[in-house]
Every structure is written in C-alpha cells, then in structure tokens.
C-alpha cells in the first residue's frame, strides 16, 4: 500500500471522475460517471446526490488501494450551491437552464469592473442567484452560505465553508479580478453575510466529518483541500514560468488563457474575460464550447479521419461556420451552418469538426493577442490532427501536448503537493499543413457572421 495518496474529485460539465493519485503523481485508479442533469423539480439541476453516493462507493474502493491523506475537489465553473443549517436549501441550478422574468442587466456591474461578459442563460452566476432569490424567496432566506461548486463539495466533506478566487472569477459577475475582492454586485444585493471568507485553493479546510469518514471508509485524519475551478487547475503546472505563454484547456469548453496578453484588449461582445488564477492574478481568456460543437458536427458515432479526408473537404470548399452550441463563445446566438458540399460519411464529419475547432481556436488566439509557447491540455490531445494543424497555422507559437491528458487532475494534485514537479512532460507537436490550409482559413474568416 502506498504511503500517501490523494483523491481528486473532478466534476466536468459532461462527466465526473474520481482519481486516486499517489505522492509522485502516478494515477493508481480512476472511476467515471456522466454528470447528468435532473429535469424534474423546480428547474434543471445537478444530480449532487447521485455524485455523492457514487463518490462514497469509489472512495471505499480506493481506500483499499492506498493510504488516502487528502481529497481535492475540482469542478466546472458558473455554478454555486445555497446551503443552510442542514444542507442545500435549493437544488444546484444548471447554468444552461433558461432564467425568465429577471431584469438582471440593470443590476450587474460594468464589464470594466469584473471583466465578466454578459452571457446567456445562467452562465453569469450572478444572474442565477438573483433569479433564485426572486423566484424562491422563502428558500433563499434560509441560506447561510453561497458556495462555489468546488467549495460546496469541500464543505460537504468537512463542514467548513470557504470562498475561492478561481471559481468566483469565472464569469460570475461576483468578483473583481484587479482587486481580488468581491464585486459591487455582492454589496448591491446584500449578499456579503452569505459569502464566506476567501481562502487559497490549496488551503486545508479541515478533516473529513466523522460521518463521511465512516461512509467512505477513508481515514479519519484525511484532510479536505478547498479546491479549484477546472480550467484553472489545468494552468497550475505553468504558474512557475515567467513570460508570455498560452494554455489551451480542451473539453466541453475550449478555454485559451494567454499569460502576458493585455487586459485592455478584451472585448465583452466576443466572450473575452479575465479569469483569476490560483495565485490571485488576472489572466486574459477567451473560450467557445468546442467539445459540444465538435460532437454536433462529428455526429453520434465519430470516426477518426485521414489527412486525405481533410484535404478533400478543403478542396471542395466545405466550411462549418459558427456556431453549433447555444452557450458562450464569440458568435453566441448565431446559428451554425455548413457551406459547400456536406460531409458524406463519419470520417468527413470528423474532418469538418476538426477543421472547425482548429479555426475557431486560431481565431480566439488572434483576438486575445496570445503569444509564447502554446500548451494544449485535455481531451483534444487525442485528436491526431488538431494540434498539428494548429501548429501549422501558428508557427510563431510552438505547440506542445501535455503528456497528462487530464490537466485538471494534475492541477488538483499540485494543490496538495505544491513543491513537487509534475511527472508528466510535454510533447512537441510538429506542424502538418493539409494542402491549401492557409487559403481555406482566409475563406473561413471572410465568411464569418
């Protein structure tokens, strides 16, 4: 049995993972489940009880494999839990739910204060909270703490409430990234008493509650770390480097973080924002729902394409134009369309989805004025053409793939072992330029809405 290991609870928008990692950063075990949305009840919400029961079951398994000394929650952003004396006072709202009947725009702080763009549905967490307070006043008044999603899981594990900047700074309208303090919206709404004291994501909040230790089979002295927003977890391994560099976190969301890029170049109408990293510093970012859009274009049974498939689409002038997801990105609200001959089989659909995501990423990096080495993290490292084509389009930014496809897990591990060197390295990605790729990009740019 290993002398020391930790568990990373990694809840992405699409899937949840529980990963057992030893002190050297080696993954010892992993369990997955869909992050399902429950449509019954007052509104669409996260299945926190399903995740909780699944997590306890997996923890009992993991406890037989290693001596678990810590649990670190890592979750998607734009999500909060309202907790009272005994638990949730309302279900945890899904940020993609429609929130009718609230005049939120008149309340939210200006972009110059929060660098948080106005977004649809509940992607601005402030909108969710205002809607919940107006729609469910009797339940809202029972709230003792408004907890960001990683810190909700930490609170449930150890009973200690905390705030944390990376989740607060994720287009919530609740955070000022320049001052690293709560925004004026919190005071305007009178929420200050509900917002816990802010702690670093690496802060140890306490030990497992005795009931949780019993249910999970984990040691009573296992500690709970505050936790972090998943995209910021992917940045952890790069925070020791000085100078300009870019990190592209890929998954349901494609999020480009451009260290050294100018904040004054951000534009609200293009879904550009300043996130706060784990060191409490603003980072210019831009994103689009790349994983969701790739799936929409590639279909239910994707089949990896060949270079010839890509070249055939380029030669015949087939273009996928944004956007193919309902939430987020510089072209949110514009219906996606395909110009030219449509793909005829699964491989061509995969080729078009890849071309689309490469061009959208390149567009975002240009808009951010991103520079320096470009590190790609996450699920798109499994795509054989994404990195090579991106490298061909951006010769000024050497592209690497992390050997760790789950930068979120590595980031969670680094919150516990802060002085350790991540075991995974980086792989240089050589450029592969299909014929006429540059001309194809120009045609795509010219056709944008």
| DSSP conformational letter for 342 | P
**Cα dist. 151→157, 183, 305, 314, 380 in Å?**
10, 19, 41, 46, 28
Under the banding of pLDDT at 50, 70 and 90, the label for residue 424 is: low
Quote the pLDDT of residue 2: 53
Q: All domains of the chain, ordered by start, with CATH?
A: 2-226 (3.30.420.40), 238-447 (3.30.420.40)
What's the helix, strand, coil split of the chain in %, to 5? 35, 25, 40
Q: Is the pTM value of this prediction over 0.85?
A: yes
Determine the average pLDDT of the residues in 217-244.
Answer: 92
Q: For all residues of the chain together, what is the average pLDDT? A: 95
Quick check: bond before 323 cis, omega within 30? yes
Q: How far apart are CA 368 and CA 287, in angstroms?
A: 10
Residue 341: phi, psi to the nearest 5?
-60, 130
Quote the pLDDT of residue 212: 98
Q: How far apart are CA 395 and CA 407, in angstroms?
A: 24
Q: Which residue has the higher pLDDT, 426 or 222?
A: 222
In this structure, how many other beta carbons lie within 10 angstroms of the beta carbon of residue 318? 19
Determine the average pLDDT of the residues in 327-343.
Answer: 93
Determine the average pLDDT of the residues in 361-376.
Answer: 97
Q: Is the pLDDT of residue 54 over 60?
A: yes
| DSSP conformational letter for 192 | G
> Which residues face 37 on adjacent strands?
46
CB-hemisphere CA count at 13 Å for 50? 16
Under the banding of pLDDT at 50, 70 and 90, the label for residue 406 is: low
Q: How far apart are CA 202 and CA 216, in angstroms?
A: 22
* C-alpha of 332 from chain center: 18
Mark 55-79 as b/e (b = at least 16 C-beta within 10 Å).
Answer: bbebbeebbeebebbbbbbbbbbbb
Under the banding of pLDDT at 50, 70 and 90, the label for residue 378 is: confident
Q: pLDDT tens digits, residue range 56-65?
A: 999 999 999 9
Q: pLDDT tens digits, residue range 60-97?
A: 999 999 999 999 999 999 999 999 999 999 999 999 99
Q: How far apart are CA 33 and CA 418, in angstroms?
A: 28
Quote the pLDDT of residue 88: 98
Q: What percent of the chain has pLDDT over 90?
A: 88
Q: Are 381 and 400 in contact (CB under 8 A)?
A: no
Q: Is the pLDDT of residue 407 over 90?
A: no
Quote the pLDDT of residue 142: 98
Q: How far apart are CA 114 and CA 110, in angstroms?
A: 7
Q: Is the pLDDT of residue 423 over 80?
A: no
CB-hemisphere CA count at 13 Å for 273? 28
Q: Is the pLDDT of residue 12 over 80?
A: yes
Q: Are 399 and 391 in contact (CB under 8 A)?
A: yes
Determine the average pLDDT of the residues in 372-388.
Answer: 94
Q: Are 90 and 167 in contact (CB under 8 A)?
A: no
Q: pLDDT tens digits, residue range 104-133?
A: 999 999 999 999 999 889 999 999 999 999
Q: Is the pLDDT of residue 301 over 90?
A: yes
Residue 43: phi, psi to the nearest 5?
-170, 165
| DSSP conformational letter for 397 | S
């Amino acid at each position: 049995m290993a002398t020391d290991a930790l568990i990373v609870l990694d809840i992405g928008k699409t899937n949840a993972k529980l990963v057992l990692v030893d002190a050297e950063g080696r993954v010892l075990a992993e369990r997955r489940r869909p992050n399902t949305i429950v449509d019954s009840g007052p509104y669409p919400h996260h299945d926190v009880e399903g995740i909780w029961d699944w997590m306890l079951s997996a923890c009992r398994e993991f406890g037989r494999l290693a001596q678990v000394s810590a649990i670190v929650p890592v979750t998607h952003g734009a999500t909060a839990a309202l907790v009272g004396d005994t638990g949730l006072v309302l279900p945890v709202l899904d940020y993609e739910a429609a929130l009718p009947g609230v005049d939120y725009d008149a309340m939210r702080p200006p972009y110059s204060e929060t660098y948080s763009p106005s977004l649809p549905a509940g992607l601005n967490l402030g909108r969710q909270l205002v809607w919940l307070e107006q729609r469910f006043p009797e339940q809202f008044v029972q709230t003792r703490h408004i907890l960001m999603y990683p810190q909700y899981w930490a609170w449930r594990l150890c009973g200690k409430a905390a705030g944390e900047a990376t989740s607060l700074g994720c287009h919530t309208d609740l955070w000022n990234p320049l001052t690293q303090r709560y925004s004026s919206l919190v005071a305007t709404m009178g929420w200050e008493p509900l917002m816990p004291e802010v702690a670093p994501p690496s802060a140890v909040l306490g030990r497992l509650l005795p009931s949780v230790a019993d249910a999970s089979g984990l040691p009573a002295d296992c500690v709970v770390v505050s936790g972090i927003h998943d995209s910021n977890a992917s940045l952890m391994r790069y925070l020791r480097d000085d100078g300009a560099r870019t990190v592209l976190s890929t998954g349901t969301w494609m999020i480009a973080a451009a260290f050294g890029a100018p904040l004054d170049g951000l534009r609200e109408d293009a879904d550009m924002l300043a996130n706060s990293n784990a060191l409490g510093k603003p980072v210019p970012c831009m994103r689009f729902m790349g994983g969701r859009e790739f799936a929409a274009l590639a279909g239910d049974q994707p089949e990896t394409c060949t270079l010839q498939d890509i070249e055939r689409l380029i030669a015949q002038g087939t273009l996928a134009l944004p956007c193919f997801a309902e939430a987020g990105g510089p072209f949110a609200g514009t219906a996606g369309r395909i110009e030219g001959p449509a793909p005829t089989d699964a491989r061509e659909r995969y080729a078009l989805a890849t071309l689309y995501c490469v061009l959208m990423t390149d567009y975002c990096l240009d808009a951010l004025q991103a520079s320096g080495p470009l590190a790609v993290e996450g699920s798109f490292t499994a795509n054989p053409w994404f990195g090579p084509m991106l490298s061909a389009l951006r010769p000024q930014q050497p592209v690497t793939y992390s050997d760790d496809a789950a930068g979120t897990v590595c980031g969670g591990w680094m919150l516990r072992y802060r002085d350790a060197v991540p075991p995974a390295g980086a792989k240089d990605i050589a450029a592969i330029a299909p014929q006429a790729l540059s001309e194809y990009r120009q045609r795509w740019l010219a056709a944008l809405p």
